[in-house]
């Protein structure tokens, strides 16, 4: 039975033989954070920035698509609300943040 105790004891080398250093223990965590940053966080921030620029550039006459799938022409703008004409004489108000994209310029 003594041989098992010696095998688990580390061979009697004394000190901290076999234990990793300070930076070596955190290297996998740092590497995982870097991978998450470049594959998930950074592209999401880039997309949010482009969407914010798109919403800031909205003007009357733009053909837009809402996130719910409504296609229409912008007829009115406020800070929070966009009025869209989706058919002749049919206007709806949607939140400015729900505009998914510009599909072209109106006439």
Task: Name the average pLDDT for the chain.
Answer: 85
> Does the pTM of the predicted model rise above 0.95?
no
Nearest to 55 by CA among 104, 99, 103, 92: 99
Return the domain boundaries, the chain: 22-57, 59-107
69 near 37, Cβ under 8 Å?
no
Q: How confident is the model over 8-17, as pLDDT tens digits? A: 655 555 555 5
Which pLDDT score is estimated for 19? Answer: 59
Percent of the chain residues past pLDDT 70, beyond the cut: 78
CA 44 to mean position of chain CA atoms: 2
Q: Which CATH class is domain 59-107?
A: mainly beta
């Amino acid at each position: 039975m003594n041989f098992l105790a010696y095998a688990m004891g580390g061979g009697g080398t004394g000190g901290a033989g076999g234990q990793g250093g300070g930076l070596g223990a955190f290297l996998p965590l740092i590497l995982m954070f870097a991978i998450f940053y470049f594959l998930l966080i950074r592209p999401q921030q880039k997309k949010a920035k482009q969407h914010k620029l798109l919403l800031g550039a909205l003007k009357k006459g733009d053909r837009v698509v809402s996130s719910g799938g409504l296609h229409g022409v912008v007829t009115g703008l406020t800070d929070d609300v966009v009025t869209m004409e989706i058919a002749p004489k049919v206007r709806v108000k949607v939140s400015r943040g729900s505009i998914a994209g510009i599909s072209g310029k109106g006439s």
